[in-house]
Amino acid sequence: MGTSGREDLRETLARATRIGVLTGAGISAESGVPTFRGEDGLWRGHPPEELATPEAFRRDPAFVWEFYDWRRTLLAGCRPNPAHRALAELERVKPGTTIITQNVDGLHQQAGSERVIELHGNIWRVRCLRGCPETIDRRAPLPRPLPPRCRCGALLRPAVVWFGETLPPRALAEADRVARESEVFLVIGTSGVVEPAASLARIAWSAGARVVEINPEPTPLSSIAHDVFREPASRVLTRLVGGLEAP
């Protein structure tokens, strides 16, 4: 995209009051977060698809928790990168900004973003299998031996969406609303193939939003994007957000 296009987009962002943002693994990769796909995601010879399932947890909850304990240990050393911080700044100057993320790492909140819809949950939280009302934040080391248990005695599980599970209806409904109401919809670091998240960009496009894709690689969503940036998210967002002022 040329300089004039970037300036035009900055003007659109400056005028917009409702901005939707969809983020995927690409934005966190700049923080050193592993994608957990392919050989890099293997743990003791097992791909995530074999461990991140309700069936695997029923079969061997301790083994699944060892996998998540390993993942949490890797993530503990990761910090928000300039892209996360730029989105937090965008929310500060544009309070109508909402982030919809497919990531479970919590880096958006760590960077200061408050309006975050977590489609796939959060790896730092756990929930009780018996349905105790609160979701417990366990950023501290998990109690040993694994698997951890709730105060009621039931097993705790990671508060993430596993393969074969549906997305939380409330989060999905809220994400759909954001997509339909957005004037600008940023799609950052997502492959555009995982549904139903990928459909959110098409919903926003159909509703008249200016769709902006930020991804080093082409995706199925590239064809509907009004603006495409083939650069790292941190570089693009720092340029776009820098200098924007609160209304």
Has residue 40 got a pLDDT over 80? no
Whole-angstrom distance, CA of residue 158 vs CA of residue 168: 14
Is pLDDT of 6 > 70?
A: no
- The predicted model gives 111-129 an average pLDDT of 96
* 120 assigned to active site: yes
pLDDT at 2 over 50: no
Pairwise pLDDT comparison (43 vs 131), residue with the higher score: 131
164 conformational bin, left if phi > 0, alpha if psi -120 to 50, beta if neither: left
Average pLDDT rounded to a whole number, residues 32-48: 66
Q: How confident is the model at residue 44 (pLDDT cuts 50, 70, 90)?
A: low
Q: What is the pLDDT of residues 178-232, one digit of tens each?
A: 999 999 999 999 988 888 999 999 999 999 999 999 999 999 999 999 999 999 9
Whole-model pTM: value is 0.92
Catalytic residue among 46, 84, 120, 226: 120
Find the angle CA(153)-CA(158)-CA(161) to the nearest 5 degrees.
130
Average pLDDT (96-124) is 97
Tell me the pLDDT band of 103, cut-offs 50, 70 and 90. Answer: very high
Give the percent of the chain with pLDDT over 70: 91
Look at residue 4 and tell me whether its pLDDT is greater than 50: no
pLDDT digits (tens, 9 = 90+) for 53-81: 999 999 999 999 999 998 898 899 999 99
Q: Is the pLDDT of residue 33 over 70?
A: yes
Domains of the chain: 3-32+80-120+167-241 (3.40.50.1220), 38-77+127-160 (3.30.1600.10)
Q: Residue 37: pLDDT above 60?
A: no
Give dist(CA 226, CA 146) in Å, integer. Answer: 49
CA distances from 76 to 69, 100, 115, 124, 237 (A): 10, 22, 22, 10, 24
